């Protein structure tokens, strides 16, 4: 397999397979256990290869492994901290068997091959719990398999681990503390949207306010947030109303997927604070999306309190990052305080070493220079000025101009904070905004 780096890279390729510990699959996250005994042929053909390729991806800290049906086989791609790397190549038959067995393990319908499906598998690798999500997308060449890997033990969960600064946390508390209005969290694909939303919910002071979730939050266990029992026959509107009557100050609602959801949630936001995620590439698009969904500038202006969006950025490896004294002109240009003594960057590469210097490989990041990701945040607040913009001329430019006027938190500003704190580099910040 062609791969630029990895924990096991130092091992010779041929003994690598023997050393790789195999993941154990423990059945679907929701639903009944799969009937492996009814599919002996599929188990024989697919189970071991499926375990091998997933274990390999997990051992390399990949968050995504994708197998795309191409020509006579399957072409693999992995994503590690948001960067793409080549993945395994499989023969058509083996790729099919791997796809089908993972569908079976995730509790999906293996007979269905024409429609998208999504499910998750509980798993364990090297003593750590994982959630492996299986996403199936039909293509003209066959089913595309996307495997999302989450280490349930190490995934960020507290607001500061997720990247929410003290100032932003304070702001969220203040906004949710009014006990009314909608706080929307939006983001694009693979932006860590649910993680950010959980961070926003956790930023609310659950000691002081009654915070309830009205849906199954899956593997997220959110401290001090009570799950409100939803009756099967009750729709979203009724469930929110019942929850609000039982003294909820803040309701964590399921992801908004339709016009109907958006209208129900925004209207209910006059009786308690509501938090929900929804897909939109950034905060400005999110605000416009809500106007489109509800068909009412007035409803958005009066019942939305904040729109939060996040974008992921790689963190510098704490073991090998290097400090440098920034040029004062550069600091002025990018808007960092002139007192900033040191910034950090990815260390010099072997080819850039000066004479006499030696190169020691970094065991922590395998010389990638970065390890893990953190989110940068943007916050649109419904200030008086912003309400006026939404009511009269809600264009992207007008919204951005108002954000600037009211000095709101932007991704750029929050990213610079991470640079100033030495968590990431200026180069990484630039790369993130280019990509």
Token pair in block for residue 330? 């550069």
Among 155, 362, 385, 387, binds Zn ion (CB under 5 A): 362
Cβ closest to Zn ion, residue 332 vs residue 342:
342
- Sign, CA dihedral 162-190-276-412, equals positive
Q: Which listed range, 11-19, 144-152, 199-207, 309-317, lies at the site for Zn ion (CB under 5 A)?
A: 309-317
Among 7, 234, 245, 364, binds Zn ion (CB under 5 A): 364
Q: Is position 317 an interface residue for Zn ion (rule: CB under 5 A)?
A: yes
Cβ closest to Zn ion, residue 103 vs residue 315:
315
Q: Is position 365 an interface residue for Zn ion (rule: CB under 5 A)?
A: yes
Query: Using an 8 Å Cβ cutoff, are 119 and 107 in contact?
Result: yes
Token pair in block for residue 61? 């800290």
Cβ closest to Zn ion, residue 6 vs residue 69:
6
Token pair in block for residue 239? 């469930």
DSSP 170-228: HHHHHHHTTS-EEEEEEE-TTS-HHHHHHHHHHHS-TTTS-EEE-S--TT---TTPEEP
Among 98, 320, 389, 408, binds Zn ion (CB under 5 A): 320
Angle between helices 411-420 and 426-434 (to 10 degrees): 160
In three-state secondary structure terms, 45 is helix
**Residue among 287, 297, 239, 230 nearest 264 (CA):** 239
Phi, psi of 402, deg, nearest 5: -70, -35
* CA distance linking residue 53 with residue 50, whole number of Å: 5
Q: Which listed range, 158-166, 317-325, 395-403, 425-433, lies at the site for Zn ion (CB under 5 A)?
A: 317-325
* CA distance linking residue 424 with residue 411, whole number of Å: 14
Q: Which listed range, 204-212, 217-225, 314-322, 326-334, lies at the site for Zn ion (CB under 5 A)?
A: 314-322
Q: Which listed range, 114-122, 133-141, 319-327, 405-413, lies at the site for Zn ion (CB under 5 A)?
A: 319-327
Q: Which listed range, 65-73, 93-101, 304-312, 363-371, lies at the site for Zn ion (CB under 5 A)?
A: 363-371
Cβ closest to Zn ion, residue 176 vs residue 320:
320
Cβ closest to Zn ion, residue 77 vs residue 362:
362
Cβ closest to Zn ion, residue 145 vs residue 313:
313
Count the site residues for Zn ion by CB under 5 A: 6
Q: How far is the CB of 364 from Zn ion (least distance, A)?
A: 5
The residue written with tokens 């375990």 in the block is 51
Q: Is position 80 an interface residue for Zn ion (rule: CB under 5 A)?
A: no
Q: Is position 7 an interface residue for Zn ion (rule: CB under 5 A)?
A: no
Among 93, 319, 327, 392, binds Zn ion (CB under 5 A): 319
Q: Which residues bind Zn ion (CB under 5 A)?
A: 317, 319-320, 362, 364-365
């Amino acid at each position: 397999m062609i791969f630029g780096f990895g924990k096991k890279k130092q091992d010779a390729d041929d003994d690598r397979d023997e050393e790789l510990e195999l993941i154990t699959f423990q059945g679907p996250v929701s639903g009944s256990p799969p009937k492996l005994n009814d599919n002996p042929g599929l188990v024989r053909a697919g189970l071991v290869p499926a375990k091998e390729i997933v274990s390999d991806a997990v051992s390399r800290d990949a968050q995504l492994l994708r197998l795309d049906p191409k020509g006579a086989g399957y072409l693999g791609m992995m994503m590690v901290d948001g960067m793409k790397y080549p993945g395994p190549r499989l023969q058509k038959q083996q790729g099919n068997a791997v796809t089908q067995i993972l569908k079976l393990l995730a509790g999906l319908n293996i007979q269905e091959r024409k429609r998208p499906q999504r499910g998750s598998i509980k798993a364990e690798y090297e003593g750590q719990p994982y959630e492996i999500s299986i996403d199936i997308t039909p293509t003209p060449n066959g089913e595309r398999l996307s495997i999302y890997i989450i280490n349930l033990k190490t995934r960020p969960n507290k607001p500061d681990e997720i990247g929410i600064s003290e100032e932003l946390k304070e702001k969220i508390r203040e906004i949710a503390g009014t006990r009314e209005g909608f706080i929307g969290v939006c983001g694009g694909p693979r932006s860590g949207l649910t993680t950010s939303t959980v961070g926003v919910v956790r930023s609310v002071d659950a000691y002081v306010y009654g915070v309830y979730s009205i849906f199954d939050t899956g593997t997220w266990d959110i401290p001090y947030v009570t799950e409100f029992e939803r009756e099967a026959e009750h729709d979203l509107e009724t469930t929110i109303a019942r929850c609000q009557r039982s003294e909820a100050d803040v309701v964590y609602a399921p992801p908004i997927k339709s016009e109907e959801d958006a209208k129900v949630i925004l209207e209910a936001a006059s009786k308690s604070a509501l938090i929900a995620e929804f897909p939109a590439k950034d905060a400005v698009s999110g605000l416009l999306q809500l106007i489109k969904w509800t068909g009412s500038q007035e409803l958005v202006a009066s019942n939305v309190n904040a729109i939060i969006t996040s974008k992921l950025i790689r963190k510098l490896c704490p073991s090998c990052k290097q400090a440098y004294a920034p040029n004062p002109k550069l600091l002025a240009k990018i808007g960092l305080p002139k007192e900033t003594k040191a910034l950090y960057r990815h260390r010099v590469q072997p080819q850039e070493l000066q004479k006499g210097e030696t190169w020691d490989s970094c065991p922590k990041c395998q010389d990638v220079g970065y390890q893990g990701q953190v989110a940068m945040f943007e916050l649109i607040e419904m200030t008086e000025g912003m309400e006026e913009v939404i009511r009269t001329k809600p264009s992207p430019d007008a919204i951005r101009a108002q954000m600037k006027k009211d000095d709101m938190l932007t991704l750029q500003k929050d990213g610079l904070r991470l640079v100033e704190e030495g968590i990431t580099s200026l180069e990484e910040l630039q790369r993130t905004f280019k990509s």
